[in-house]
Structure 1
Amino acid sequence: MCRHLAYLGAPVPIRRLVVDPPLGLYRQSWAPLLQRYGTVNVDGFGVGWYADGDEVPARYRREGPIWADASFADLARVVRTRALLAAVRSATDGCAAGEAAAAPFAAGRWLFSHNGALPGWPGGCAALAAELDPGELLELAARSDSALVWGLVLRQLRAGAALGEALTETVKLVAKHTEARLNLLVTDGSSIAATSWGDTLFHRTGRGVLVASEPSDEEPGWQEVPDRSLLLATAAGVTVRPID
């Protein structure tokens, strides 16, 4: 399992979103409060962010725990962003280790993260892998369940699907093959789509929009997303609807 978050709003330092919140993603790497599967998230981390004037996001990913990386502490202090996707990783058994397996995954203007697992990985996922053509399989960033799910989402996006449609169609496809946990999160820098499917998901508006696996503080305003739902967010607000 993993923990992840996305943000849209006025430019703020990365540190304010990821490191400073008392119950935020940084702390969730060793002490998540609501995580149902696994206990810590120290198998890698990553942050993807958008800079004004460039729709292609930058990424910083590492294999180890977020709190052990002094370079990230410096980066997070000085880099400001209007849109961000960040994640800390708890690896699924049998999945590849290393930086390449850490979210966010990226292609063009899109950033993606998967909080969950595909049961039976890898052998039990052959039917899902067969949904991708050989070129798409070779393009996968890592030998992991999350990279495979990203490949399925990316196929939808490249075919012209909107963010929410790409996630829901992927969830429905995967659910036909396995009882997976599929909390998915994707952004293009101006909007966010997320699914709640087997684990917790929350959102808050006010000082921008935050979407996260669990609240990063005890301030009011956090709202839980019902299981098996799709969340869509822009700077203007959030909508939530059931996944059929």
Structure 2
Amino acid sequence: MCRWLAYAGTPILLEDLLTRPSHSLVDQSFEARQLYLPGSPMTTMFRHHAWPTNGYGFGVGWYGERDFPGQYRDDRPAWSDHNLQRLAEQIRSPMFLAHVRAAAIGGTIDRVNCHPFTHGRWLFQYNGEIGGFPAVKRDLTLDVDPELYPHIEGNADTELCFFLALTYGLDSDPLGALARTAGRIERARAERGVDDPFTATICAANGQTAFAVRYSSDHSSRTLYHSVAGMRIRAAGGGHVELPDDGRILVSEPLELEYRRSHWVEVPESSSVTLHAGQEPEIADFTPLAA
């Protein structure tokens, strides 16, 4: 189970979310604590021991002075990369995405498979997998716009989802493109008789707005939360990380060891989220569409 976050608001240092909170994203790379329990009346549960680590690479993408995002990725564990810590101490951004990876069984451990992916103004990351991906990979790949296909660098299902979304109109209709991507994947699963579900909490950002989706074929999606206004996140070693009043966060897992419902709002199953700085997240129903 990968973990990711997205931020929009007055520029902050990357370290304010990546390393300083008591359960920062780098901490989650070593010890994620939250697990979805299908069939349980409780959607989430915290444990006091580690679930499998997210140590198969990491990445961060941020918006700054240029008309395209910066990007830093590696296939080493985030907790052991001192360059990541030094960069996070210096880079300040109004919007950034970050991800720590747990590769699927048989997945290739390589920098090009680490999220977030980038193309033009876009950053893209997700937590989940296309069930039965080997059976549907060829069908889905052939749907990618021929002009976009040469830009695919790795062999991960996530990157293919990104280029399908670009093919289906991510630039002009972001949420519609994500819905058409989900619809195409579901059709491929049905046509190939794949029983394993498609599960995804997706985030795509263009520098002004972040768009996220929580969806799965069997309605057992990975967790996703958004923050409330005026957040004070408990920091490692005591104290707090003070976020700007207009700052908003999307996270796979809360950034504090003690989960506080007053701070973190769970995004409902089969929903989309539109995230703007200084505004309450826009939550809407999400349904796959025919591509």
| TM class, shorter-length | over 0.9
Q: Are 1:205 and 2:228 matched, yes or no?
A: yes
After TM superposition, the structure 1 stretch with the greater mean CA deviation from structure 2, 21-30 or 64-73, is 21-30
| Alpha-carbon contact 1:100-1:142 (below 8 Å) kept | yes
| Percent of residue pairs identical | 30
**Pairwise CA distance, 1:59:** 0.5
**Pairwise CA distance, 1:35:** 3.6
Distance 2:187 2:201 in 1: 16
Query: Counterpart of 1:224?
Result: 266
Query: Counterpart of 2:199?
Result: 181
Query: Counterpart of 1:48?
Result: 61
Query: 4+ residue runs of structure 1 moved beyond 6 angstroms?
Result: none
Pick the structure with greater CA Rg: 2
Distance 1:15 1:189 in 2: 19
After the TM superposition, which residues 1-244 of structure 1 pair with which residues of structure 2 at under 5 Å, given as runs? 1-36=1-36, 39-51=52-64, 53-157=65-169, 160-178=171-189, 179-197=197-215, 198-206=221-229, 207=244, 208-217=247-256, 218-219=259-260, 220-235=262-277, 236-244=279-287
| Alpha-carbon contact 2:55-2:77 (below 8 Å) kept | yes
Distance 2:21 2:249 in 1: 12
Distance 1:124 1:172 in 2: 13
User: CA separation of 1:108/1:136 partners in 2, compared to 1, >3 Å: closer, same or farther?
Assistant: closer
Higher normalized helix content (fraction of residues): 1
TM-score in terms of structure 2 length: 0.78
What is the DSSP-based 3-state SS (H/G/I as helix, E as strand, rest coil) of the residue aligned with 1:131?
coil
Q: Which runs of 5 or more structure 1 residues have no equivalent in the other structure? A: none
What is the DSSP-based 3-state SS (H/G/I as helix, E as strand, rest coil) of the residue aligned with 1:106?
strand
| Alpha-carbon contact 2:145-2:167 (below 8 Å) kept | no
Distance 1:29 1:194 in 2: 21
Distance 2:52 2:143 in 1: 32
Return the letter of the residue paired with 2:89.
R
Return the letter of the residue paired with 1:12.
I
Q: Report the number of matched residues.
A: 242
Distance 1:153 1:34 in 2: 28
Distance 1:135 1:50 in 2: 25
Distance 1:71 1:46 in 2: 12
Report Cα offsets for 1:47-97 as digits up to 9, x if no partner. 00111x423110010111001111111111111111100000011233322
**Pairwise CA distance, 1:135:** 4.7
TM-score in terms of structure 1 length: 0.92
Higher normalized strand content (fraction of residues): 1
RMSD between superposed Cα atoms in Å: 1.8
Distance 2:206 2:166 in 1: 12
| Alpha-carbon contact 1:22-1:216 (below 8 Å) kept | yes
| Alpha-carbon contact 1:231-1:241 (below 8 Å) kept | yes
| Alpha-carbon contact 2:59-2:73 (below 8 Å) kept | yes
**Pairwise CA distance, 1:133:** 4.5
Distance 2:120 2:74 in 1: 20
